[in-house]
Structure 1
Amino acid sequence: MTIFTIDKVRKTFMNGEMKDEILKGINLSLKEGEVTALVGASGSGKSTLLTIAAGLQPASDGKVLFEGQNITAMNQEQVRKIRASKFGFVFQFAHLVPFLTVEEQLMLMLDVADTKLKKRQQKKEIAKILKLVGMEHRKDAYPASLSGGEKQRVAIARAIIHKPKILFADEPTASLDSKKSKDVMLLIRDLTKMLKMATLMVTHDEEMLSYADHVVKMRDGLVQ
């Protein structure tokens, strides 16, 4: 089932007196339980498209529809609420809070998402998610004691703890070696299907494309 649609999205920046069109009318649909990978050379527009889809910057034209709602027509507060409660984010680096334990990282996300779960319920949900990502034995650890792969697993757990509908992943394996990259991609693929999310991922690593259900190639602001 399609739950997210990018409809004729354009993005233009002013470069002095010249217009620089980064996205030239992109159409894309995301379905629950599927991973869609965006690939292309640097400057092709893939990261710009991801940030517009995630509501992190506005489109110059076109629409972004989530479950039938036009995100591009919403005000900043409405978009913020959707991002916090319905979207999850994984980036190249884990960006964990250094003074919070693994468990506390996830508690913070539950508070940001305003899930209204009581502390006991939070701990129960966190235990489930940490078990899913193989990090239940590290719940009391601080980021400084975690390996790169472990940090990214915690980042993934944090991204899905509030049960988002859409997962946005921007180069999630770029800082990892090939073994850890494959482990992380397998985890993202399996969680996408298990939790019936739709995942939109930007990657430059062609080896990771085998884990995607759909591969979208971008060049010069267009889908090829």
Structure 2
Amino acid sequence: METLSINKLVKTFKDGNKEEKILKGIDLELSQGEITALIGASGSGKSTLLTVVAGLQKSTMGKIIFEDKELTEMNPTQLRDVRAKRFGFVFQHAHLVQFLTVQEQLQLMMDTAELNWSKKKREEEIKSVLQAVDMWSHKDSYPDNLSGGEKQRVAIARAIIHQPSMLFADEPTASLDSKRSIEVIELLRSLSKERNHTVLMVTHDTDMLKYADRTVIMKDGVISES
């Protein structure tokens, strides 16, 4: 089943009196439970595509349909609501809040998503997710006491704690060594399959492609192969 549809998406940036078209009419459909890897050379437009689709930048033209709703027609408040409640994000760096413990990071995400869950359900979900990423024993730890791989595990837990339907991963293993990269991508894949997330992942690491269901290649602002 289709989760997200991108139709003739254009993104143009202004540089003084000049305009540079970064995305040149992208068409792409993402299916529920599918992991799509987005690759391409630096400057090909892959990170721009991810941030526009995720509602972090406005498109210039085109449509983005998510769960039968047109994101490109939403006002900023509506778009923030979708990002907070239906999207999950994993970036190159974990971006954890330094003064919050591991379990508090997840509590903050649940508050942001405005989940109407009981205290008991919240506690059970936090324990379940932290156990899934093998970080329950670190629930009271602060980010400064975690390794890079452990921080990314917490970032994944935070991305899925509110049960989003769509995950965006922008170079999620780029800051890790090869061993930790494999651990993190295997974890991301297993959890996304178990919970039926649709995943759009930007990566430059070809070793990550075998964990995707589909690879989309971008070149000069267009999809050259899908």
Tell me if both proteins adopt one fold, taking TM over 0.5 as the criterion: yes
Whole-angstrom CA distance in 2 between matches of 1:119 and 1:98: 24
- The amino acid that maps onto 2:123 is K
1:217 is the counterpart of 2:217? yes
Q: Secondary structure at the match of 1:157?
A: helix
Whole-angstrom CA distance in 1 between matches of 2:73 and 2:32: 23
Deviation at 1:29, TM superposition (A): 1.0
Deviations 1:164-203 (A, max 9, x none): 0000000000000001101111111111111111000000
Any residues of structure 2 matched to 1:1-224 within 5 Å, and which?
Answer: 1-224=1-224
Whole-angstrom CA distance in 2 between matches of 1:14 and 1:97: 33
- The amino acid that maps onto 1:148 is G
Whole-angstrom CA distance in 2 between matches of 1:23 and 1:220: 8
Deviations 1:54-82 (A, max 9, x none): 01111111000101100000000000000
Whole-angstrom CA distance in 1 between matches of 2:58 and 2:170: 18
Identity %: 58
- The amino acid that maps onto 1:46 is K
- The amino acid that maps onto 1:162 is H
Whole-angstrom CA distance in 2 between matches of 1:132 and 1:27: 35
- Poorly superposed stretches of 4+, deviation over 3 Å: none
Q: TM-score, normalised by structure 2?
A: 0.97
RMSD: 0.7
Deviation at 1:116, TM superposition (A): 1.8
Deviation at 1:28, TM superposition (A): 1.0
Whole-angstrom CA distance in 2 between matches of 1:96 and 1:9: 32
Q: Secondary structure at the match of 1:29?
A: strand
Whole-angstrom CA distance in 2 between matches of 1:114 and 1:105: 15
Deviations 1:98-143 (A, max 9, x none): 1111000000000000002232221111000011111111111111
Unmatched tracts of structure 1, length 5 or more: none
